[in-house]
Amino acid sequence: MDWKRDDELKKIFIPARHGLGDQIASFFLPIQYKKPNPNVNILKRVKYGLKHGLLDEAMVIYEEGYNPCGWQLYAYLDFIISTKRTYCFADVPDQANNNWMPDKISSGHINVMTCPPTEFLQLPTTEIVEPAERRPPFSIPSNDYILFNDSAAGQDRRLTNHQIYKDLRVLGMPIVRVGAGYAAGYGNCSATECDLDLVDKTTIPEIFWLARHAKLIVSALSFYRVFTSFYKVPVIEIAQMGNVNGETMDRTRAEYQVGSYGINELNQWCEYPSTQFNKILGEMK
């Protein structure tokens, strides 16, 4: 690849302002909205460019307010890409709409989402880039288990009903509860029960590992829906009546209809409590 000897050209950044679900769907899922997702090639090109010395610097700029754990998606990859918060750059404002960031920032880094150099687009996409996985340093049930997440950034999406645990126990599997972000100010909303509580004790790569080995995933309306695409494990999302608002319900219906976040036939969502939820569980016995 014949790169121009321009240091600015060889410094790029990826804007990753949104929450985990949007970032995973944008940069890791090969299928989005029921069709091939071209954005998965961005990290493949970055990996190739760094490996072969065609890129000098690559970084991800994320906004901590959307999700304080977002940086972990990139920090544990099998190649080195730096992660920086938006407030590290005077020309990258917080809380901008629709993941907007400048085409080029004062450090000289170029935005490869909005203004990719032609040479960057010509880099091969042959590298394999997958979310990192790590086994958590805890005693995990060796038999089948349900991975359960009751948390979400949006307060109306959080689960608090103790009956959920009792309903899930009819499947005869231990329930491993995970979640992140409470210590960062989301508020401790883990009001449900479980058999193994790993809330605020796991990294994102550890949650991916747990998802891979789970028999079933049950979650608040959140990024856990993406695990059907990675691991072919069924995911049930719950909207708790009395908590969830109409806007969230409408958005979720639309997301399932168009197949955003890699949603496929292994994804289901329902209100809770409801006969539909009990029916879904009954079909899994």
Answer whether residue 140 is part of any domain.
Answer: no
Lowest mean pLDDT among 61-70, 90-99, 200-209: 90-99
Judge whether residue 269 has pLDDT over 60.
yes
- Tell me the pLDDT tens digit for each residue of 73-104: 999 999 999 999 999 999 998 876 677 899 99
In terms of residue numbers, what domain contains 110? 11-121
According to the model, what pLDDT value does residue 96 have? 67
**pLDDT value for 3:** 47
Residue 180 has what pLDDT?
A: 66
| Residue 38, domain member (yes or no) | yes
What percentage of the chain reaches a pLDDT higher than 90? 79
Torsion angle, alpha carbons of 59, 178, 134, 170, to 10:
-140
**Total of domains in the chain:** 2
Position 211 in a domain: yes
Is the pLDDT at 5 greater than 50, yes or no? Answer: no
Task: Work out the average pLDDT over 240-244.
Answer: 95
Please indicate whether residue 260 or residue 151 has the higher confidence score (pLDDT). Answer: 260
242 domain residue, yes or no: yes
Tell me: do 96 and 157 sit in the same domain: no
Contact predicate 76/134, CB 8 Å: yes
Asked whether the beta carbons of 222 and 151 are under 8 A apart, the reply is: yes
Q: 177: domain CATH number?
A: 3.40.50.2000
Q: Which of 121, 154, 175 is the last residue of a domain?
A: 121
pLDDT at 61: 95
Q: Which one, of 82, 84, 83, 102, lies nearest residue 92 by Cα?
A: 102
Residues 100-125: what's their mean pLDDT?
Answer: 93
Quick check: is 241 in a domain? yes
Say if residue 185 is in the same domain as residue 92: no
Is it the case that residue 190 has pLDDT exceeding 80?
Answer: no
Say yes or no: 117 and 152 in one domain: no
How many C-beta atoms lie closer than 10 Å to residue 86's C-beta? Answer: 21
Confidence band, pLDDT 50/70/90 cuts, at residue 183? very low
CA–CA separation, 227 and 217 (whole Å): 8
Q: Find where tokens 């065609």 sit.
A: 54
Least confident of 9-13, 136-140, 206-210: 9-13
First to last CA, the chain: 56
Q: Are residues 67 and 170 in the same domain?
A: no
**Residue 95 confidence (pLDDT):** 73
- The average confidence (pLDDT) of the chain is 91
pLDDT band at 185 (very low <50, low <70, confident <90, very high): very low
* Same-domain pairing of 45 and 108: yes
Per-position b or e across 206-225, b if 16+ CB within 10 A of its CB: bbbbbbebbebbbbbbbbbb
Name the least confident of 175-189, 204-218, 220-234.
Answer: 175-189
d(CA 45, CA 67): 25
Q: Is residue 172 part of a domain?
A: yes
- Model confidence pLDDT, tens digit, residues 11-27: 999 999 888 999 999 99
Give per-residue pLDDT as tens, 140-150. 998 899 999 99
